[in-house]
Amino acid sequence: MKLILASQSPRRYELLSMTGFPFEAVPPPCDEEQVFSRLMRDIPDLDERRLVEKLALAKGMASLKEHPGCLILAADTIVTLDGTVYGKPKDKDDARSMLRTLSGRTHVVDTGVAILTSSSTELFSSVSHVTFQPLSPATEALIDRYAESGLPLDKAGGYGIQERGGLLISHIEGDYFSVMGLPVSEVFRRLSAYEID
């Protein structure tokens, strides 16, 4: 069975490559913002874990329609603080604002994963708690440089743990790779049950 990574994320591509399974990365044919908005409207009391699982499932199902004979792996990551979801920043100023808001606080990173075939569905998620350094002149300067680089713009919460954004973190409780975008150890364990070509 051919494995399809339903993502255009270079980080998820890199992480899935660690497993050694052959795969093809194909962006899911769905509007993620539209799916998110619909879920928030239709199920307003949805908790973060179920939200990321439903987002991953929507991506996976859209991809399965295009690749019905394949094994589909889809994932989604959200960052929340005090009940507010921090998605991808709209622009560099939004990235600065997000990173300042997260500074000195502990936020939650939820990554949901869907593994689908035409006859089966597996859904699971991973939760991590990430604490940022408090604001200081050095942290402010780092946030400005990081936002100006444009790197935060394609990442939930406006940072990547594996790049300069990792310098903002004082500690993490949970799975480093899940914060990066894919709980790859659990993904490997689950994919091992399938016959992947």
Give the catalytic positions in this structure. Answer: 76
The secondary element (H helix, E strand) that includes residue 126 is strand 121-132
- Distance separating the N- and C-terminal Cα atoms of the chain: 5
Coil, helix or strand for 62?
helix
H helices of the chain, where?
10-17, 32-42, 48-66, 92-102, 137-149, 176-180, 184-191
Q: Which residues are bridge partners to 112 per DSSP?
A: 76, 125
| CB crowding 18-30: b at 16 or more within 10 Å, else e | ebebebebbebeb
